[in-house]
Structure 1
Amino acid sequence: DDFAGLEGCNEILNVTRPDVVRAVHRGYFEAGSDAVETNTFGANLANLSEYDIAGRIFELSEAGARLAREVADEFSTPDRPRFVLGSVGPGTKLPTLGHTKFVALRDAYEQEVRGLLAGGVDAVIVETAQDILQAKSAIIGAKRAMAAEGRPVPLIAQVAVETTGTMLLGSEIGAALAALEPLGIDLIGLNCSTGPAEMSEHLRTLSKHARIPLSVMPNAGLPELRPEGAVYPLSPDELAEALAIFVREFGVRLVGGCCGTTAEHVRAVIEAVGQVTPARRRPRSEPGVSSLYQAVPFAQDASVLMIGERTNANGSKAFREAMLAGRYEDCVEIARAQTRDGAHVLDLCVDYVGRDGAADMAELAGRFATASTLPIMLDSTEPDVIRAGLERLGGRCVVNSVNYEDGSGPGSRFQRTMELVREHGAAVVVMCIDEEGQARTADWKVRVATRIIEDLTTNWGMRVSDIIVDTLTFPISTGQEEVRRDAIETIEAIRRLKKRYPEVQTTLGISNVSFGLNPAARQVLNSVFLHECVQAGLDTAIVHASKILPMSRIPDEQRMVALDLVYDRRRDGYDPLQKLMELFEGATVSSSKASRAEELAALPLFERLQ
């Protein structure tokens, strides 16, 4: 009867039995806790829909916050305030697996947090996240709620890492950090799923790399199933000892307990951590992106970051034909092939005349989210297409691109795209294009890049290290006089830009430089041009990774002629463009060339490891 016929819906007790809820809060405050969580873990779309009361999200959230607020105020003193954390749980529907739509979740979470704010919470805690995309929907919904209510409060995000070492869908802790930290959260941490022993290494990773403070709320050990139900084996002293170590070694600033932690556990924790000085953290952030599964830093140890170009409807005939025919598994296989060939990120472009780009992006991004282990670069000029991708990819994406072609004022494509970039915490490619057109000289390129970098860091809250500048690649293969210096200007722009902004990332669409040449000549010119750009400071390249040759594998004459073309070293009787075309007249690129993966597999073991 207390559950009003909705057995198991704990949030209904906020209105049917407020005395019981208050008593739970009171017990933890009496044990000495600084904060309690609201009884709103399940006040979300998925959970309440199961009881057919989704329309009561705001009501039950506000009621839960108000009850906790009342009890916190009872215990607060001028010397020791007590706090209320608004609990936002994951629900039972995972958007990455297509159980529900991102937008539906986001809007419901906004209603939940508006209720929590109305009830008087001091902070919001998005917890027990099992799907990074679900966590993003909750965080973005919470941010929207705070903006709507005009009341920003601290925002905590905690993920649940299973005994497998990953989140439920296979996400490593680094992937969660890369995706969630840029959303503007104030603390990040772990809770639920396991006891403290199983959390240690994941917490160590966060301690090394998170720029923001850490929180942790383990269960009282791994649950043991007994005849009387689940039993949590850690004693209060054992939990307290573990949390004191987390504070002392990893610098954790907010500790507490999840499943199985009683008031006695809290009392022991408070006694254990009260005299511990948190370790001073010196995090080393790694700018980069992530897929659902793994983080990929921009800085690669042994090479430039390779962005696979074959999942682009404008650059790959095979991908375009598969997309147009609805052969989506073929599109996925093209993505997987690029992974095998050495790409670190995939460039996904679906823009094609006469197509519904948003629908195509939704279809393919939704499939790539789980089928590809690599992060995605969303490549489109249309904000609606970019939005469709961002709402289906749990990892941290790159948005390619923004520029000043139609200005930067209200309603411009630049502004509409940057609003999406900021809300979803994406990295961004900026093109050296302004109102006058595509920048051709180094001076022009650096001027436009400087203007955009200053704009994004000053007005859009972006870090320089999350901005990727494309200094533009033009074909130097047409023979026209006006294009002869284009490669020189691009290389010089990279060098000057990296000197002015050492933390900025740079990229190029490499294959543009050789447009129109014989495929064998293109491979050599692309490889030589990429090598020269990397020497100047290039960080990433949009390229077919398996078609790039190491300098040591290019014959000396071919390499020197390609270099002469790149640097426009013409002289009487010698035009490097004509010479390059002669060298490759009739030459073909063998279609049976082994993939990079096959090449590696053929090596002896120790050479392969090296």
Structure 2
Amino acid sequence: MTKQEFQNLVKQRPVILDGATGSNLMKAGMPKGVCTEQWVCENPKPLQELQKAYEKAGSQIVYAPTFSANRISLKNYGLENKVEELNKALIEISRTAVGSQMLVAGDLTTAGNQETPYEELLEAYREQILVQTREGIDLLVAETMLGVTECMAALDAAASVCSLPVMCTLTVESDGSLFFGGNIYEAVETLEEMGADAVGINCSTGPDQLLSVVENMRKRVNIPLIVKPNAGIPVINAQGQPVYSMEAREFAACMKHLVDAGADIIGGCCGTTPEYIQKLHDTFTL
């Protein structure tokens, strides 16, 4: 996918992304504490069924489950030498699920440590992106980033190896502050200047808490704006599992307000399911 093709797609706003992956895989039996990427490779069926359901519900872009398949994160499981193997397999799993008519984004995320040197981040993302581009990914997304530096490294890495569109989303507090310092408003300006094709937020909180954040981001950038929030604020149940309070209909209604405020690309994060994406699709196509 070229950058111009991406911009042409976004003109048909809103573009609908997929919903949560991790929370749904846990419902499907993925144990806590395992390497998600390795588990999906060994158990591809739940992920493929989920992505097929997102496609049927109206998603135009699904995220390949390559989330933490970078050298830094995989080291936590002793899998740092499996970057190529895992990324290749995970992209193939997604492509098999949705076919060639659906856009599949190569997924990158935070290394989770504010002290990681920039050059180390850059090399880790470059290694991951090289594999993903060889496997024919349509575009890239750096998501759930905790600070702007991580996104900058992902953008620099992508620019060094490919010309694919790159979307960047960070996770924020309800006031727009970032977990690694700074705020989302300055971050999206910086990322636009660096050449990001779309910027915004994911995870974070529920869409009902984000209207002011979206309005203020829209004032700061001219490129497409992404909003992919959780299904509200979770409550931990007796089994230690997060339970999300916002139902699909309410989620879609809140998301409509965010589109009215300037969001161009929308989807769901933790706690959302294909039902939530279906409600989004129905809200904007009826």
TM-score bin, normalised by smaller chain = 0.7 to 0.9
Give the corresponding residue for 1:205.
216
- Find out whether 1:42 has 2:62 as its counterpart: no
One-letter amino acid matched to 1:20: P
For residues 152 and 93 of structure 2, what CA distance do their matches in structure 1 show? Answer: 27
- Find out whether 1:272 has 2:249 as its counterpart: no
Q: Give the match's secondary structure for 1:178.
A: helix
Q: 1:93 aligns with which of 104, 113, 136?
A: 113
| Aligned CA distance change for structure 1 residues 11 and 218 (closer, same or farther; 3 Å) | same
Contact 2:188–2:200, Cα closer than 8 Å, also in 1? no
- Find out whether 1:119 has 2:135 as its counterpart: yes
One-letter amino acid matched to 1:61: N
Contact 1:111–1:145, Cα closer than 8 Å, also in 2? no
Once the two structures are superposed, the pairs formed by residues 263-412 of structure 1 within 5 Å of their partners are 263-275=274-286
Q: Give the match's secondary structure for 1:268.
A: helix
- Find out whether 1:25 has 2:51 as its counterpart: yes
For residues 227 and 177 of structure 1, what CA distance do their matches in structure 2 show? Answer: 39
One-letter amino acid matched to 1:82: M
Q: Structure 1 unaligned segments of length 5 or more: list them.
A: 147-151, 276-610
For residues 63 and 14 of structure 1, what CA distance do their matches in structure 2 show? Answer: 9
**TM-score, length basis structure 1:** 0.40
How far 1:101 sits from its partner (Å)?
1.4
Contact 2:231–2:272, Cα closer than 8 Å, also in 1? yes
Q: Please give the root-mean-square deviation of Cα atoms over the aligned residues, in Å.
A: 2.0
One-letter amino acid matched to 1:49: K
Q: 2:104 aligns with which of 69, 84, 97?
A: 84
Contact 2:112–2:146, Cα closer than 8 Å, also in 1? no
Give the corresponding residue for 2:261.
249
How far 1:19 sits from its partner (Å)?
2.6
Q: Give the match's secondary structure for 1:42.
A: coil
- Find out whether 1:160 has 2:180 as its counterpart: no
One-letter amino acid matched to 1:27: A
Contact 1:240–1:273, Cα closer than 8 Å, also in 2? no
Contact 1:110–1:145, Cα closer than 8 Å, also in 2? yes
For residues 255 and 128 of structure 2, what CA distance do their matches in structure 1 show? Answer: 30
For residues 200 and 75 of structure 2, what CA distance do their matches in structure 1 show? Answer: 28
How far 1:253 sits from its partner (Å)?
1.8
Give the corresponding residue for 1:232.
244
Contact 2:171–2:201, Cα closer than 8 Å, also in 1? yes
For residues 192 and 137 of structure 1, what CA distance do their matches in structure 2 show? Answer: 20
Give the corresponding residue for 2:228.
217
Contact 1:166–1:172, Cα closer than 8 Å, also in 2? yes
For residues 66 and 164 of structure 2, what CA distance do their matches in structure 1 show? Answer: 17
Contact 1:124–1:156, Cα closer than 8 Å, also in 2? yes
How far 1:176 sits from its partner (Å)?
0.4
Q: Which has the higher contact order (CA 8 A, sep 6+)?
A: 2
Q: Give the match's secondary structure for 1:224.
A: strand
| Aligned CA distance change for structure 1 residues 234 and 48 (closer, same or farther; 3 Å) | same
Q: How many residues align?
A: 256
Once the two structures are superposed, the pairs formed by residues 442-591 of structure 1 within 5 Å of their partners are none
How far 1:11 sits from its partner (Å)?
0.5
One-letter amino acid matched to 2:138: D
Give the corresponding residue for 1:183.
194
How far 1:10 sits from its partner (Å)?
0.7
- Find out whether 1:103 has 2:119 as its counterpart: yes
For residues 277 and 179 of structure 2, what CA distance do their matches in structure 1 show? Answer: 28
Q: Give the match's secondary structure for 1:156.
A: strand
Please give the per-residue CA displacement for 1:216-273, whole angstroms capped at 9, x wherever unaligned.
Answer: 10000111122131111110001111112222232x2211000000111111111012
One-letter amino acid matched to 2:193: P
How far 1:6 sits from its partner (Å)?
10
For residues 169 and 57 of structure 1, what CA distance do their matches in structure 2 show? Answer: 26
Give the corresponding residue for 1:194.
205
How far 1:120 sits from its partner (Å)?
2.2
- Percent identical pairs in the alignment equals 28
Q: Give the match's secondary structure for 2:210.
A: helix
Give the corresponding residue for 1:357.
none
How far 1:42 sits from its partner (Å)?
1.1
Please give the per-residue CA displacement for 1:427-454, whole angstroms capped at 9, x wherever unaligned.
Answer: xxxxxxxxxxxxxxxxxxxxxxxxxxxx
For residues 181 and 284 of structure 2, what CA distance do their matches in structure 1 show? Answer: 32
- Find out whether 1:174 has 2:194 as its counterpart: no
How far 1:93 sits from its partner (Å)?
1.7
One-letter amino acid matched to 2:108: V
Q: Give the match's secondary structure for 1:203.
A: helix
Please give the per-residue CA displacement for 1:440-481, whole angstroms capped at 9, x wherever unaligned.
Answer: xxxxxxxxxxxxxxxxxxxxxxxxxxxxxxxxxxxxxxxxxx
How far 1:178 sits from its partner (Å)?
2.6
| Aligned CA distance change for structure 1 residues 27 and 117 (closer, same or farther; 3 Å) | same
Question: Structure 1 stretches (4+) deviating beyond 4 angstroms?
Answer: none
Contact 1:45–1:105, Cα closer than 8 Å, also in 2? no
Q: Give the match's secondary structure for 2:261.
A: helix
Give the corresponding residue for 1:57.
83
Q: 2:273 aligns with which of 236, 259, 262?
A: 262
**TM-score, length basis structure 2:** 0.84
Greater gyration radius: 1
Give the corresponding residue for 2:146.
130
For residues 73 and 134 of structure 2, what CA distance do their matches in structure 1 show? Answer: 21
Q: Structure 2 unaligned segments of length 5 or more: list them.
A: 1-28
Contact 1:35–1:85, Cα closer than 8 Å, also in 2? yes
Contact 2:248–2:279, Cα closer than 8 Å, also in 1? yes
